[in-house]
Structure 1
Amino acid sequence: MQLVILACLAAVAVAAPQQYHYYDRPDYRHIAILRDEREDRGDGNFRYEFETENGIQVNAVGTPGSKGQSNIQGFYSFPLDDGTVAQVSYIADEFGFRAESPLIPTPHPLPAHAIEQIRIAEEQRRQGIVWD
């Protein structure tokens, strides 16, 4: 009976899920932080900057917003595989999150005839014309 219990415990131990850590990967390499500066004034104003040895940079400044939110303005950049550096600037405030970067896709511009149709429709709305 003791042998059966021991065999069951051994089976449970072997079947237990194994934990996987990203640093267990063979391609894992520790990246050193070259600079890490943080300031929190305790009144909703803060700033932080950091830079890593592989070229990642982050910078942000925060202030209290008019509607109780934190307004944050900053940027982050990182190296791409082709050797160029990607940079994204952003603002987050009561109007939402807005990011700017050449990497962010933009919609194609409207053709001239579509812009003209929109102008005509707006003019008709101003004149009170209503379509069913």
Structure 2
Amino acid sequence: MFIVALALVAVVAAAPVEEPEPIVRSDFEQSPEGSYTYSFETQKGIVRQEEGQVKEALDEENKPHNVVVVRGSYSYPGEDGKPVSITYFADETGFHAEGDSIPKPARR
């Protein structure tokens, strides 16, 4: 059993460690009421930007409460070198994303 444990430790120790992607630009700003903007870009071309705005919405019982409405996008180089882009928003109705790489539901 001890030999098996040593072999397992040796395999884990020999596994390559991926270095984190170097970030070449990063910005973040937040307001006291909860709104924010956020963006970054990596050396290999991964780009993300997002903003959140506080909005009053009604819950299931029609009581007002604050939610953060988020809008953003991200892109990264695809396997063919062409950029893959996704835009999204999230609010009290859920998360919604669009992009050519996201499968579309079949139409009937």
Tell me the TM-score normalized by structure 2: 0.74
* SS at structure 1 position matched to 2:79: coil
Q: Which amino acid aligns with 2:18?
A: Y
Is 1:92 the equivalent of 2:82? no
Q: What is the Cα deviation at residue 26 of structure 1?
A: 2.2
Determine which structure has more spread, i.e. the larger CA radius of gyration: 1
Is 1:103 the equivalent of 2:101? yes
- Distance 1:108-1:84 versus aligned 2 partners, 3 A rule: same
Q: What is the Cα deviation at residue 95 of structure 1?
A: 1.5
Aligned partner of 2:54 among 58, 64, 87: 64
Aligned length, in residue pairs = 94
Aligned partner of 1:49 among 31, 35, 39: 39
Is 1:36 the equivalent of 2:35? no
5+ residue gaps in structure 2? Answer: 58-65
Please identify which structure carries the higher strand content: 2
CA RMSD of aligned residues (A): 2.3
5+ residue gaps in structure 1? Answer: 1-10, 111-132
Please identify which structure carries the higher helix content: 1
Aligned pairs for 1:71-86 within 5 A? 71-86=69-84
Partner of 1:115: none
Does structure 2 retain, via aligned residues, the 8 Å contact 1:50–1:57?
Answer: yes
Partners in 1 of 2:20 and 2:89 — Cα distance? Answer: 31
Q: What is the Cα deviation at residue 30 of structure 1?
A: 3.7
How many percent of aligned residue pairs carry the same amino acid? 31
The higher relative CO (CA closer than 8 Å, separation ≥ 6) is in 2
